[in-house]
Amino acid sequence: MGDTRIVLSEREMPQRWYNIQPDLPAPLAPPINPATGKPIGPEDLAPIFPMELIKQEVSMERWIDIPDEILEIYKLWRPSPLYRALRLEKALKTPARIYYKNESFSPAGSHKPNTAVVQAYYNKKEGVKRICTETGAGQWGSGLALACCLFGLKCTVYMVRISYDQKPYRKVLIRTWGAEVFPSPTDKTNAGRAILEKDPDSSGSLGIAISEAVEDAASHDDAKYSLGSVLNHVLMHQTIVGLELKQQLKIAGEEPDIIAGCVGGGSNFAGQCFPFVKDKLDGKKIDFIACEPTACPTLTRGAYRYDFGDTAELTPLLKMYTLGHRFIPAPIHAGGLRYHGNAPLLCLLVNKGVIEARAYHQKEAFEAAVTFARTEGSLCAPETSHCIKAAIDEALKCKETGEEKCIVIAYSGHGFFDLASYEKYLDGELIDYEHPDEKIKEALKDIPEIVEPGA
Amino acid sequence: MGDTRIVLSEREMPQRWYNIQPDLPAPLAPPINPATGKPIGPEDLAPIFPMELIKQEVSMERWIDIPDEILEIYKLWRPSPLYRALRLEKALKTPARIYYKNESFSPAGSHKPNTAVVQAYYNKKEGVKRICTETGAGQWGSGLALACCLFGLKCTVYMVRISYDQKPYRKVLIRTWGAEVFPSPTDKTNAGRAILEKDPDSSGSLGIAISEAVEDAASHDDAKYSLGSVLNHVLMHQTIVGLELKQQLKIAGEEPDIIAGCVGGGSNFAGQCFPFVKDKLDGKKIDFIACEPTACPTLTRGAYRYDFGDTAELTPLLKMYTLGHRFIPAPIHAGGLRYHGNAPLLCLLVNKGVIEARAYHQKEAFEAAVTFARTEGSLCAPETSHCIKAAIDEALKCKETGEEKCIVIAYSGHGFFDLASYEKYLDGELIDYEHPDEKIKEALKDIPEIVEPGA
């Protein structure tokens, strides 16, 4: 029997990120400027992103060196441990071997800082003084607040008002790291004021918060904007997770049969599985399972089309699975998975059949999370619970078939800020949501008609 | 420059606990039965503790083997990492080298599970079906709930009502691990009913909760009681931390000049420093700094006397520093440090001058915690903040003197459940407490007059 925990030394930490773009099975459709209908160029993005990140966004280099300054910062929580879930296996009586790559030990409690510190670094290097962003439940906002703090940058977080009021702890965490955080909509931006004029009691949305953060960045010379998922460079930064995982599985003498991860914007799962995608394209048998909530079934019921990233139609158009940019997901507790779209890179691989998508109800996901907590000890985030459910399902299948599969869980974060939702689960108060076909069809109608360049 | 993080492999994890009793500079005064005035024997403790723990409590063996089953469970979070706080050093511009031994990655978020799983194990082995305990802020209650869950035992937690109402998250964590948790005083025990009769709205106290848990255990054949600090065996279980620390410092090529830890009941700090005490007694120069709050200055202003462990005078009498068993500490946010007494083993070493005690105000402690969070990233528990303050003070002294001391922080837990208190600090709403001499003098009057056996 192997070790319970496989830990890499700092010296074994990957020195390069993996950029999947040159290895894709088909070319990635470019982002489109909604005003011109043409692919956007670096100059379109320069007002809100530093040039180095824009270069990474379109790079065709397979490997990109991680700067020494980032490697130093990564050491505050990386390399992250890979655990063998021996006690869960035993409880399930499965012949499968279950591992979980644990990203919950970063100071912000999730994988988010892996890209936040990189974005802060390049902004700092290019003279930016302040970074603006939006946050829903607060995982990304706290990750970026930490990153800005570590690099001596100012940070402004527009937090969806309903989360700001209902989840006060994440807000305090953001403030502890020295960032300013406002409930969005605010009266500080045109976008916010326009909303407040119509509805002074607006509880906000991620779409509105994005509009405020982008406007704030674009209208101040010393400020830029930062996004916590979806974009190519964000996914690439997260590949440090999968690259570590690959080394750790090798030490354990394992080849993964299944890698399961939850998907909101896609960066967590992409980070874990992209370094294994080429192996699959080269003929290896690996199942990548992208787990989403039935309440926001982007990959399983959305259309693969060009759509806006935000409700207010301010962002470039991205080719992705989408439920329509005005789709309103049901109010589930995995706030990080409530996004109408998804990362274009991940969507392409789903579309080509390389990655499989599955949707789960929140009650069965919480049930899996509690099973995990009662066997392995650790309390996962509601987002993470979705892929634990997938892993348990697969392990139980192995029990039927006798297959000794190696299953890897992308354990993206802890649930210490989500105990109110655990309480609802324990009290039997959680509700499952399944959108009727009619609602999905209606939402898809908002997707603009775009002719794909070169199509 | 060395590594940021020194990690031991599972194979390097200590296989034995260190029992300091044979190495004490003076004999430990025995616990006394308040009814007889005589030292208590194993038979007095048998109704509430399993025999193996009673044996450990009085053992004079220097090393006690850790059972294989415990070693397996420890691997869920042990060995814990030792970090070099390079960024804090840089911010302080100190020539000192600062390390922190990080116990916050256990599933319950602190050092508490290190003894909880051991106590659950021995209880299980001796046929116990259910363990009863009390908890204030909830750290210990959640640690024991986890432990009982891992060993398939039932667990009943009496949680001080004011914490139960004000800190709902810890309560949910306890429930998630399958334990039952009641706001104390309850109507389930004579002790609880007696209080409720006088005061139906009683907000409870640790003393009352202890009485309820002990009564519940003593009045049910298949149940025992469990304590999270103070007792010799609890401190011994925690020495796994200091034993790991010793190995890790050796790998780093360091000899500690200072080890600082916070002290509530004493088990955290004892676990970190006891394995180094013999080195000091043998002539090595090491400063052990026990950090307590000015709001509950047990070691710095208490008397070294026999006293009860609880308000209701139900426990044996222990020789310890005490503020009197009816002392009511000011309502500071480090709930885990609000105890009138302290572990007899630790108190003896303070009394003999081996360990130094210092008291800190909560505002300066939170200030240190925020400095730490903004340099190292991690957000510590309010309890832990007290020794971070001590370490920063010592590092700044080194800046004055030019000494390159090696300072170790006993980083006992994270602060994710304590963000309400961080918010108060950030908003300038925290209040410092310093008890007037008169109040301390009055409280000390409650200490019973006991003739020490053999004195």
Is residue B186 in a domain? yes
Is residue A65 in a domain? no
Could you tell me which chain B residue has the CA closest to the CA of A113?
Answer: B377
Could you tell me which chain B residue has the CA closest to the CA of A2?
Answer: B10
Mutate to test the interface with B, among A70, A71, A176 (most CBs of B within 10 A): A176
Q: Would you state the pLDDT for residue B149?
A: 97
Tokens of A207: 């779409």
Q: Where are the alpha helices (DSSP H) in A4-159?
A: 42-45, 51-58, 68-74, 86-92, 113-125, 139-150
Is residue A451 in a domain? no
Would you say residue B1 has pLDDT above 70? no
Could you tell me which chain A residue has the CA closest to the CA of B425?
Answer: A176
Residues of A with CB under 8 A from a CB of B: 3-5, 7, 9-10, 72, 75-77, 83, 87, 105-107, 109, 146, 149-150, 168-169, 172-173, 175-178, 370, 373-374, 376-379, 414, 416-417, 419-420, 422-423, 426
CB atoms A423 and B175 under 8 Å: yes
Q: What is the mean pLDDT of residues A46-63?
A: 96
Is residue B18 in a domain? no
Q: Which of B189, B204, B227 is the last residue of a domain?
A: B227
CB atoms A176 and B3 under 8 Å: no
Task: Check residue B292 and give left, alpha or beta (phi > 0: left; psi -120 to 50: alpha).
Answer: beta
Is residue A2 in a domain? no
Q: Would you state the pLDDT for residue B455?
A: 60
Cβ–Cβ contacts within 10 Å for residue B417, how many? 24
Q: Would you state the pLDDT for residue A313?
A: 86
Write out pLDDT tens, residues B20-47: 999 999 999 999 999 899 999 888 899 8
| Full strand arrangement of the beta sheet holding A180-184 | A180-184, A154-160, A130-135, A223-225
Q: Would you state the pLDDT for residue A425?
A: 97
Sequence-separated (6 or more) residues with CB below 8 Å from residue A123: A50, A131, A151, A153, A224, A226
Q: Would you state the pLDDT for residue B300?
A: 97
Is residue A250 in a domain? yes
β-bridge pairing B16-18 and A355-360? unpaired
Q: How remote is the C-alpha of B50 from its chain's centroid? A: 21
Q: How confident is the model at residue A234 (pLDDT cuts 50, 70, 90)?
A: very high
CB atoms A168 and B9 under 8 Å: no
What spatial distance separates the first Cα and last Cα of chain B, rounded to whole Å?
53
Three-class SS of residue A112?
coil
Q: Would you state the pLDDT for residue A367?
A: 98
Q: How confident is the model at residue A339 (pLDDT cuts 50, 70, 90)?
A: confident
CB atoms B77 and A377 under 8 Å: yes
Longest dimension (CA), chain B: 64
Is residue A37 in a domain? no
Say if residue A264 is in the same domain as residue A131. Answer: no
Mutate to test the interface with B, among A6, A12, A73, A76 (most CBs of B within 10 A): A76
Q: Which domain holds residue A370?
A: 79-109+238-444
Would you say residue B127 has pLDDT above 60? yes
Q: Which of B227, B246, B276 is the last residue of a domain?
A: B227
Write out pLDDT tens, residues B311-369: 778 889 999 999 999 888 888 788 888 889 999 999 999 999 999 999 999 999 999 99
Say if residue A338 is in the same domain as residue A414. Answer: yes
Q: What are phi and psi of B413, to 5 degrees?
A: -170, 165
Q: Would you state the pLDDT for residue A117?
A: 98
Say if residue A160 is in the same domain as residue A85. Answer: no
Q: What are phi and psi of B242, to 5 degrees?
A: -65, -35
| Full strand arrangement of the beta sheet holding B258-262 | B5-6, B82-84, B97-102, B406-411, B258-262, B287-293, B355-360
Tokens of A293: 């909530």
Say if residue A184 is in the same domain as residue A312. Answer: no
Say if residue B126 is in the same domain as residue B146. Answer: yes
Sequence-separated (6 or more) residues with CB below 8 Å from residue A438: none
The H-or-E segment that residue B409 falls in is strand B406-411
Three-class SS of residue A385?
helix
Say if residue B104 is in the same domain as residue B117. Answer: no
CB atoms A172 and B422 under 8 Å: yes
What are the distances in angstroms from CA B285 to CA B100, B241, B274, B355, B396? 20, 21, 14, 12, 20
Q: Please, are residues B424 and B333 in contact by the beta-carbon 8 Å criterion?
A: yes
CB atoms A169 and B420 under 8 Å: yes
Q: What is the DSSP letter of B110?
A: B
CB atoms A419 and B107 under 8 Å: no
Say if residue A170 is in the same domain as residue A259. Answer: no
Say if residue B289 is in the same domain as residue B371. Answer: yes
Q: Would you state the pLDDT for residue A272?
A: 98
Distance CA A170, CA B412 (A): 22
CATH no. for residue B160? 3.40.50.1100
Residues of B with CB under 8 A from a CB of A: 3-5, 7, 9-10, 72, 75-77, 87, 105-107, 109, 113, 146, 149-150, 168-169, 172-173, 175-178, 370, 373-374, 376-379, 414, 416-417, 419-420, 422-423, 426
Which residues does chain B have within 8 Å of residue A83's beta carbon, measured at their own beta carbons? 76
Q: What is the mean pLDDT of residues B184-190?
A: 95
Say if residue A209 is in the same domain as residue A276. Answer: no
Q: Which of B183, B208, B227 is the last residue of a domain?
A: B227
Say if residue A203 is in the same domain as residue A250. Answer: no
Task: State how many domains chain B has.
Answer: 2
> ipTM value of the model?
0.95
Closest CA to A444 of A313, A298, A338, A317: A298
Q: What is the mean pLDDT of residues B173-190?
A: 96
Is residue B62 in a domain? no
Say if residue B273 is in the same domain as residue B408. Answer: yes
Q: What is the mean pLDDT of residues B182-205?
A: 92
Say if residue B265 is in the same domain as residue B390. Answer: yes
CB atoms A176 and B4 under 8 Å: no
Residue B376 has its nearest CB partner, among A76, A87, A414, at: A76
Tokens of A183: 């409930």
Q: Would you state the pLDDT for residue A238?
A: 98
**What's the gap in Å between the CA of A380 and the closest CA on chain B?**
10
Tokens of B433: 């407490």
Mean pLDDT score across all residues of chain B: 94
Q: What percent of chain A has pLDDT over 70?
A: 99
Lowest model confidence (mean pLDDT) among A80-94, A441-455, B147-161, B209-223: A441-455
Sequence-separated (6 or more) residues with CB below 8 Å from residue B148: B120, B131, B154, B155, B177, B178, B179
Q: Would you state the pLDDT for residue B310?
A: 84
Distance CA A446, CA A74 (A): 41
DSSP-derived secondary structure for B180-220: EEEEES-SSSHHHHHHHHH-TT----HHHHHHHHHHHHHT-
Which residues does chain B have within 8 Å of residue A177's beta carbon, measured at their own beta carbons? 373-374
Would you say residue A2 has pLDDT above 80? no
CB atoms B377 and A426 under 8 Å: no
